[in-house]
Chains A and B, each alone.
Chain A
Amino acid sequence: MATRIGTSMNVGQRAMMNSQAALHTVSHNIANKNTEGYSRQKTETFSNFPNGVGKMRTGTGARAASIQRVNNPYLEKQLAGEKSQLGFLSGQSTALLRLEQVYNEQQSDGLNSSIGKFFNSFRELSTNPENMAKRIAVKESADLLTRDFNRVHEQLQDIRKEANGQVLIQVNETNKVAEEIASLNMQIQKVEISGGFANDERDRRDALLKQLGELIDIKWAEGKDSTVTISTADNAILVVGNEARRLEAVPTPGRENKAEGDFDIQYYHHEHAEPMVLTERIRGGKLGGLLSVRDGDVGEFERKMDSIAFEIGNRVNDLHRQGHNAYNQAGGDFFAHVEEQRGASGSIKINPTVLGDVGRIVAGMDPNSPGDNRVANMIGELQYSKSLLDGATSVDEYYNGIVAEMGLRTQKVNNLLETQEGVVRQLENLRESYSGVNVDEEVASMIEWQKQFDASARVIRTADEMLETVINIRRY
């Protein structure tokens, strides 16, 4: 069977269309070269099946079969997992850095210094218990000490509040992302059910999954219908099909190891279900990191500060009550009495009667003995007493231990964070290496397709000329 000139024209025309499609893809790639999570796309062309029989089967050109993204799902999933860990660590790190500042005495004096000053003021008093100025110095140093305890307490509260604010933001963010993923699920399903490739939708969904993983620990799997199902905190389904279930941040009424007003994260299986508290089960992502610092570290350090304040307050009071003050009255409390250890660092203050009249400070044991300095000496001794708190460390050692512990935790998290950043960076490089856009490549490909476009046009023109020749054959 003979070939026809028209066929060549057709082939040329289709080739031009292919070139245009491919150029379009190139332009799409170049346009998205900075888009986060974008995978470069490729136009696949196939050669058409030939016409004719036997040894003369003439080709019928090429057709653009599909536009597909270049993407390695395994790499994406790995990257998402590592990013989740990164989110967790960065959540912890942000909160810990704030916490660390509370205990930073490298630049200015803090609690360590005021504890020392407090006990030293009693030593000073012991050299001259008759002297009013020394008593005033005791009052001042005790005032400084209580203020410093209160300051630490308040700062810890602030960090807690700040963490709560962050939790609220992250929960809202989580809901937003989950909703977008649910709607993408639907779009992808629509495109792919008819055999298409939802390249850009999938890129966007992959990016969102990573983002979600950074916020909260998630597990997900893609079903045969192209939708992903996401669960968080062990088994709470966050997204299924085109439905996203909301998380809610709700102030807790206060329960064991939880301060009142802290945000709990609640989840509803369905609209009318009883809310389920997920707080303890969220162990990943920024949210997990924040919660672990808020409920773990901040709470722990609060309790430790409370126990120091409570112990100092009570032990000083015990001694103070044994003696007599400058008016020969039996000594009262030095610090205002605190019933409960919890919150003691926030409530510790000087007994108002002592604050109003330093003559009520007790230095000696016996009445009518203005030179008696035994109680002052005993209170001074408390600084080194190992019978306080856990029974093995002095107040100073205990507090310095807190600072060291704080530093160690921050250091550890920062080191892990740095390592994790390296891991993520490396994986991102791998991903980019595979899926990222290279302009040189695109330009080369552009030239390639342009040349094809030119050549195809030439084919059409040649065919046209040939046709003209055929039409004008009679004139010759």
Chain B
Amino acid sequence: MRVADKMNYNQSLNAINKNRSEMMTYQNQAASQKRINKPSDDPLGAARILEKKTEMQGFEQYKRNILSAKEFIEYSEQSLSQASELLIRAKELAIDQADDAANGPDSRRIVAGEIRQIYEQMVNIANRRFGDRFLFGGYKSMTTPFDMTGTYFGDDSEMDVQIEKDAYITMNMPGSVVFMGKKLHQQLPPDKVLQDDKTTVEVRGPASQNPSQDPLAPTAQTIANSAEGEWGIKSANVFEVLRDLEIGLKANDKSVVQNSLESLDNSISQINMARGELGSRVSSLNTGLETLQKLHVDSKVIQSEIEDVDMYDLVNNLSKTQTQLEASLATSGKMLKTTLLDFLR
């Protein structure tokens, strides 16, 4: 083959250019530690990275949601545990006053005063705030839920907070349910049961999708004691129970006091059932948090697998290209220099 001088030059130039551009690619990868520096490096990989990034953004948000829901729920649970203690104290007092052996109108009047105090403390607990939000007011979270007569000004709404792509958890427990024994979810079965395979969590869709719930409906005022409440037990209006007991004691009416024992029991069970539910929500949140953390790590690993450069490969390639470049330079230098003229004297 006839070789023109231009061919030599072009060849040398191309070889050096190619080596240099390869070097640059590898240096770029070394600097960013990434295999994919722009979408065209690996289009499908780049799209998957974005997918993973969105996922991880979501995980971060769900973690934050879980943490704030958890705080809210834990505080609610703590308040209810105090309520439960108060009721137990009331029951002890009622048991003491239920027979005539050591009790007369005077002692009952004194105890009635104590029940009054318990009642007031109960109202205070029901009006607890978390930050500036009332725990037990439903959506009416900025209005004091109960007045001193035990009238409810909140609603029956549940605040659902997203804790996973397809899962919500209810953050609050309306005062009407906890303290007044209103039954909420009659015909609504949990519409989603999911979580990782170890735990099953009852999850309800966003509140908005719940047609049976009308937050504008009349409040729980009218709920009668001893109808069936939220948890399939006899429901109790805690405030009424306490007030009845107080009145009974004041009136020195033994039978009223005796009757109130059962409704106090119902009240205690109701509060404890509520506590139980809140507790199980917390534990499912904890599981959710763990799952999220696991998923987060998984996503991170996948992202890294897609986009990060294999250092061993990279260093290998770099040194290979370096050798190539040196060879190109050396041969070019030799080849381009020599002509026939060098040998003619």
Show the binding face of A for B, using Cβ within 8 Å. 33-34, 40, 100-101, 103-107, 112-113, 115-117, 120, 123-124, 126-128, 130-131, 364-366, 368-375, 377-378, 380-381, 384, 396-397, 399-401, 403-408, 410-411, 414, 425, 428-429, 432-440, 443-444, 447
Contacts and interface: CB of A to CB of B under 8 A. Distances in A.
A436 B6 contact: yes
B64 interface: yes
A407 B58 CA distance: 25
A54 B270 CA distance: 142
Given A432-B4, A438-B5, 13 more contacts: A106-B46, A120-B57, A123-B162, A124-B65, A130-B133, A371-B159, A374-B208, A377-B162, A404-B43, A407-B46, A432-B7, A434-B2, A439-B5
A104 B5 contact: no
Nearest to A104: B38
B171 interface: yes
6 contacts: A123-B161, A366-B139, A371-B140, A374-B208, A400-B50, A411-B41
B146 interface: no
A435 B4 CA distance: 8
Contacts of A103: 39
A21 B142 CA distance: 107
Interface in B131-174: 131-133, 137-142, 155, 157, 159-162, 165, 168, 171-172
A106 B38 contact: yes
A432 B57 contact: no
B234 interface: no
A126 B65 contact: yes
B208 A371 contact: no
Nearest to A396: B54
B6 A34 contact: yes
Nearest to A36: B6
Nearest to A380: B162
A407 B42 contact: yes
Nearest to A395: B54
Contacts of B61: 120, 123-124
A433 B4 contact: yes
A425 B18 CA distance: 13
Interface string B29-46: 000101011111111101
A105 B50 contact: yes
A127 B47 contact: no
**10 closest A-B pairs (Cβ-Cβ)?**
A436-B4, A407-B43, A407-B39, A371-B141, A369-B139, A374-B208, A404-B47, A410-B40, A120-B61, A116-B57
A432 B1 CA distance: 11
A113 B248 CA distance: 65
Nearest to B62: A123
B21 to A, nearest CB: 10
Interface in B95-130: none
A425 B14 contact: yes
Interface string B216-250: 10000000000000000000000000000000000
Contacts of A406: 39-40, 43
A425 B17 CA distance: 13
Interface stretch (B177-185, B256-264, B292-300, B337-345): B337-345
Contact of B157 (A371, A380, A438, A447): A371
A126 B171 CA distance: 11
A374 B155 CA distance: 15
A378 B47 contact: no
B215 A377 contact: no
A443 B344 contact: yes
Nearest to A411: B40
Contact of A126 (B4, B57, B58, B161): B161
Given A370-B142, A371-B140, A439-B340, A106 B307 contact: yes
A436 B54 CA distance: 58
Contacts, number: 205
Interface string B328-342: 000000000001110
Contacts of A378: 206, 208
B139 A364 contact: yes
A201 B104 CA distance: 133
Contact of B207 (A34, A131, A374, A400): A374
Contacts of B41: 407, 411
B63 to A, nearest CB: 11
Max chain B C-beta neighbours (<10 A), residue from A373, A414, A439: A373
A414 B64 CA distance: 43
A126 B207 CA distance: 11
B138 A371 contact: yes
B49 interface: yes
Nearest to B142: A370
Contacts of B46: 106, 403-404, 407
A120 B2 CA distance: 68
Given A123-B65, A130-B133, A366 B216 contact: yes
A107 B140 contact: no
B316 interface: no
Contacts of A372: 139, 157, 159, 215
Max chain A C-beta neighbours (<10 A), residue from B47, B50, B168: B50
A106 B54 contact: no
Interface string B269-288: 00000000000000000000
Contact of A106 (B2, B34, B344): B34
B199 interface: no
A407 B38 contact: yes
A39 B7 CA distance: 13
B140 A370 contact: yes
Contacts of A403: 39, 43, 46-47, 50
Nearest to B42: A407
Contacts of B160: 126, 373-374, 377
A364 B140 CA distance: 11
B206 A381 contact: yes
Nearest to B71: A127
B10 A425 contact: yes
Contacts of B20: none
A368 B14 CA distance: 74
Contact of A429 (B10, B42, B133, B168): B10
A459 to B, nearest CB: 25
A439 B206 contact: no
Contacts of B37: 104, 106-107
A437 B208 CA distance: 83
Nearest to A33: B5
Contacts of A408: 40, 43-44
A22 B165 CA distance: 85
Given A128-B68, A366-B216, A432-B6, A101 B43 contact: no
